[in-house]
Amino acid sequence: MDWKKIKNIESEWFSCLHKAESKKTYYLIDLDDKSKIKEVEDFFNNINKYQKKYNMVYREDISKNEIKLKQETVNGYHLLINPFNVWLFMRFIKDNKIDAEVKKNELLFLWSSR
């Protein structure tokens, strides 16, 4: 085994982790029903409408919360999105009978790449 190459990979890994772009936080939405994608996209495109519907007021502007990545899966989609109020989304999916889960673990993308 070439330990020099392994050491180089380790230093490269740490270098990448310390770059500004690697510190961005995203949430992953695991949507298990392909037919509900339009409803979920509508939620994020019109999140202020849902804030008013559920009588929720926020100090920060969350109207610009866009889906960064949409990946089709066997049963649905994985959506990568900036952090948002999970409680508001959970209320929305409960009211609309949508089978979805929000995953916020920072190491999620490391585990899923294996």
Split into its structural domains, the chain has a count of 1
Half-sphere exposure of 18 (CA within 13 A, CB side): 6
Within-domain flag for 9: no
C-alpha dihedral (31, 34, 36, 39), degrees to nearest 10: 90
Q: Which structural domain range is residue 61 located in?
A: 24-112
pLDDT exceeds 60 at position 9: yes
Provide the CATH number for the domain around residue 51. Answer: 3.30.70
pLDDT exceeds 60 at position 110: no
Rounded Cα distance, 49 and 65, in Å: 13
Within-domain flag for 40: yes
C-alpha dihedral (67, 71, 73, 77), degrees to nearest 10: 10
The model carries a pTM of: 0.68
pLDDT exceeds 80 at position 93: yes
Contact, 67 vs 41, CB < 8 A?
A: yes
The pLDDT tens digits of the residues spanning 44-88 come to 888 878 877 877 766 555 556 778 889 999 989 999 888 888 888
